[in-house]
Amino acid sequence: MKSSSLLGWVLSIACIAAVTGTPAAAADIELQGRELVVSGMLDGSAIKTFTDHLASGTVRTVVFEDLSGGTADAAGAFADAIRASGVATEIRGQCMAACAYAFLAGKTHRFGYGFQVNGILLPVATRPTAAELAVRWRGEEAHKTLADFTPATAATAGTATAKPVEASVPPTKDTGDNWQPDHGVLFTASPTLFGRIYNAYYCDGTQGRDFSKCERLSDADPYKLGVLTP
């Protein structure tokens, strides 16, 4: 399964699923039995609805379904609510930028079953080393990494307004904000007749819509790195 054409196909499918379609709207939240399905964009507008559902005690799993952007502040708010409630998280389709850090807050976090290509892109401020990859997204370390993208002081937090962005849209340059949703580490899982093929890539943000230009990372198993749990 090391054919470059196969790898290109897997990544192209993931890219298409992530960036095509109409621009993402504000978060849409729907309770489906014991699952709370979240789609759209994590911009903070639906955080109260989200926390109210979690407080009811009905939800066991938060399902992120094709979320393509959001703000660092919203990522922190959703992650805090998930962590406090102790629910599991799941991805169906793509989970980019803000969604990715909220996903990691789950008691367990996994890709959904089915024939869809699943992908998660975790924004990073700089290219992580192999040593950083080993611990960066485990437990509290995942929560701490959001500090790279949130205001440094309370005073700044009170005056700065985070701007919603989509994974496919280059961010506006701002000296006080290095949140670049298309700059990060991308993990993909593609279904085959023999199981899933997992790959990891570093995307420096210059690839635009073509994620096949991202650098493939070796020995970056999402389970070993804590991005996914069994």
For the domain that residue 74 is a member of, what is the CATH number?
A: 3.90.226
Please state the domain count of the chain: 1
pLDDT attached to residue 132: 87
Is there a contact between 76 and 147 (Cβ–Cβ < 8 Å)? no
Q: Which residues contact 107 (CB under 8 A, 6 or more apart)?
A: 86, 87, 88
Question: What is the residue range of 121's domain?
Answer: 4-216
The mean of the pLDDT values for the chain is: 79
Residue 68 lies in a domain: yes
Residue 185 lies in a domain: yes
Residue 226 lies in a domain: no
pLDDT attached to residue 200: 94
Q: How far is CA 120 from CA 29, 59, 68, in A?
A: 19, 22, 10
Q: What is the pTM of this model?
A: 0.79
Residue 224 lies in a domain: no
Q: In the structure encoding, which two tokens stand for residue 198, read together?
A: 């997992």
Residue 99 lies in a domain: yes
- Max mean pLDDT range (21-25, 53-57, 129-133, 204-208): 53-57
**Averaged pLDDT, 24-42:** 91
- For residue 199, the surrounding DSSP H or E stretch is strand 195-204
Q: What is the pLDDT of residues 83-139, one digit of tens each?
A: 999 999 999 999 998 999 999 999 999 999 988 999 999 988 888 888 888 888 887
Residue 111 lies in a domain: yes
Residue 119 lies in a domain: yes
**Averaged pLDDT, 175-204:** 84
More confident residue, 44 or 88: 88
Residue 223 lies in a domain: no
